[in-house]
Structure 1
Amino acid sequence: MGWLVALAFVIFLFLAFSAVVGYKMVRPSRLIENWTPKDLGFEYEDVTIETRDGLKLSGWWIDNGSDKTVIPLHGYTASRWYSLYMKPTIEFLLREGYNVLVFDFRAHGRSEGKYTTVGDREVIDVLSAIDWLKEKHPERAGKIGLIGFSMGAMVTIRALAEDDRVCCGVADSPPIYLDKTGARGLSYFAKLPEWLYTFVKPFTKLFSGAKELNMLEYADKVRKPLLLIAGEKDPLVKVEEIREFYERNRVINREVELWVTDAPHVRTLKLYPEEWKERVGEFLKKHL
């Protein structure tokens, strides 16, 4: 009987470890920095956006005098302050003449929310931000575009399919097969074996209450201008997965584009800033 007790104890420790990993995955550390759009040369307003399910999101509204507004969407564990891609994207959009509404997703930055759902309920955050914009500044919401990175790219794709008020979107490094990306993330960020994700995933769903997303389903739903950006050196999302989405979407969507670079995850802007700005700038000018 002693070996049964030992086996049960080992199983208990393994499950406890998996639970801790799952808990940490849905409660990422919050990235908060001190810079504001004022440091980029633009006046701004601190805003609070109440979501349709009752959370308060923290953000900035930068009125640039246009009737076109772009909402940049950060990725998992990031926030509006993320210097890798959010800060240069905000500055780029403002210098292009667009208004910018930017906020921290739930459980990120200064926003409320205990758990992230990595793309599930985050779409509520985006739709609620559009609600806020339409109510507070309807004259600035003639056309609304989205630029999302990683998790934000997933939400961009979902919002294009689910909200008629969004006219176009840029999705940089969007995870398509979430289980595969989650497993790769365990290896890439935590140096844990990918197979562990099978045991961690049930705990992430238990803690966060998130529903499973099938991003490929949205390839059959999006019929609006969409620019997909994929990187050949991305350790989290394979080019082939984004290409599969693209090939499936273009059957019904003549205005979907795919741009493949040799960059790692969400780093095309960092490695090729001028080309990124040119490609994204032309896309927005055409469709906004």
Structure 2
Amino acid sequence: MKWIALIVVILLILIIVVSIYAASFFLNVALFRDNNWYEKTGHEMMNPDNFNKGKSQYDLTEEKQNLQGNEFWQQDFCQDHWLEVDGEKLYSRLIIPHPKSKKWVICVHGYRSFGQRDMAFVASKFSDQQYNILVPDLRAHGKSTGNVIGMGWLDRLDLLKWIQEVTTIEPGAEIVLFGGSMGAATVMMTSGETLPENVKGLVVDCGYSSVYSEFGAMLRSAFKLPAFPILTIADNLAKKKVGYSLKQASSINQLAKNNLPTLFIHGTGDKFVPHEMLYENMEATNGVKESLIVNNAPHLSSFIYEPDHYFDTVFEFIHRYC
């Protein structure tokens, strides 16, 4: 019996040691810009659809959209715009094609991406509807400085600064917040803060319900590891490493304080953020809410799979409620 007890103790110690190592490794690769494991290995593990490109109708549509977006990005009415916040230099593209319009949208990109890549085409579609646009690069992304990835939680505070910047440019601005992936989480997490009356509504595409839940989903699907006890340890380590807990970074908790109209969008083929999170987010919010679910669309690809239906739904929602 003593040998059995000893073996059990040794196994428990091994499990704890391995879990601590796995939690620390996962946090380092997930939350620090200067760790390049994600770009070399992790991205394909976590979001394989981005690496299965061919010449399907959807790939051709994406190419066409990217060309349109990049051409729009370089127009004369676009300029670089910077903010200094907490010693960091934060970049955005300020796009004012309609100087007399008071309609504005702030478009927020996804995890380890940047504004032009994710939002140039979306920005062009908003311009067609007479919107002026601001597209930030989130802290530790794109041209913005910083090393800690905020996963939307830290970014919500920077988004408040960008909202203030728009209202400085146009005090009468009527602002829609649009986000995709981590950008959607950023918008949802910002929704629980005190926002100026200028902010009229939210559009969130494939955002996660919390960082804790998203990391748990990634551990199970990409790493084939159990969330417990790795994620419990990671949650505690995160407080020391990056200054916030994974549970604290919750779209659900913030949406519970939101009263703004919100359109939730998700593709059922999403392997990066489980589309079931849409229902959790919708249930949490107190504002007017509608959803758009696009069958089989991979992560942040709903406007590639059904572009007309997607943007018709977005602008009908905005015109109705915002």
State the TM-score, normalized to the length of structure 1.
Answer: 0.82
Relative to structure 1, the CA distance from residue 132 to residue 36 in structure 2 (aligned partners, 3 Å threshold; closer, same or farther) is: farther
3-state SS of paired residue (2:107): strand
Aligned to 1:72: 107
Relative to structure 1, the CA distance from residue 26 to residue 247 in structure 2 (aligned partners, 3 Å threshold; closer, same or farther) is: closer
Deviation per CA, 1:30-86, whole angstroms, max 9, x where unpaired? 99xxx99772262211111223x442201110112221110101111111122xx42
Aligned to 2:250: 214
User: Which residue identity is paired with 1:39?
Assistant: E
User: Which residue identity is paired with 1:143?
Assistant: E
Aligned to 2:310: 276
8 A contact 1:25–1:204 mirrored in 2: no
1:147 aligns with 2:183: no
8 A contact 1:169–1:227 mirrored in 2: yes
Distance 1:36 1:206 in 2: 43
Distance 1:42 1:148 in 2: 22
Deviation per CA, 1:141-178, whole angstroms, max 9, x where unpaired? 52011111122112212333321231111011121143
8 A contact 1:160–1:167 mirrored in 2: no
Across the two proteins, how many residue pairs are aligned to each other? 274
Q: Which moved more, 1:220-229 or 1:17-26?
A: 17-26
8 A contact 1:71–1:145 mirrored in 2: yes
Q: Which moved more, 1:14-23 or 1:40-49?
A: 14-23
3-state SS of paired residue (2:116): coil
User: Which residue identity is paired with 2:201?
Assistant: C
1:19 to 7, 19, 24: 24
Distance 2:19 2:173 in 1: 53
1:115 aligns with 2:148: yes
Q: Which moved more, 1:162-171 or 1:215-224?
A: 215-224
Aligned to 2:170: 138
Distance 2:79 2:210 in 1: 37
1:203 aligns with 2:203: no
Aligned to 1:42: 75
Deviation per CA, 1:169-224, whole angstroms, max 9, x where unpaired? 10111211432211222355x53524344444433332211241233223432111
Aligned to 2:271: 235
Gapped regions of structure 1 (runs ≥ 5) = none
8 A contact 1:172–1:266 mirrored in 2: yes
Q: Which moved more, 1:7-16 or 1:89-98?
A: 7-16
Distance 1:16 1:147 in 2: 37
- Considering only aligned residues, what root-mean-square deviation do their CA atoms show, in Å? 3.0
User: Which residue identity is paired with 1:216?
Assistant: I
Distance 1:9 1:286 in 2: 57
3-state SS of paired residue (1:81): helix
% same residue: 24
Higher radius of gyration, 1 or 2: 2
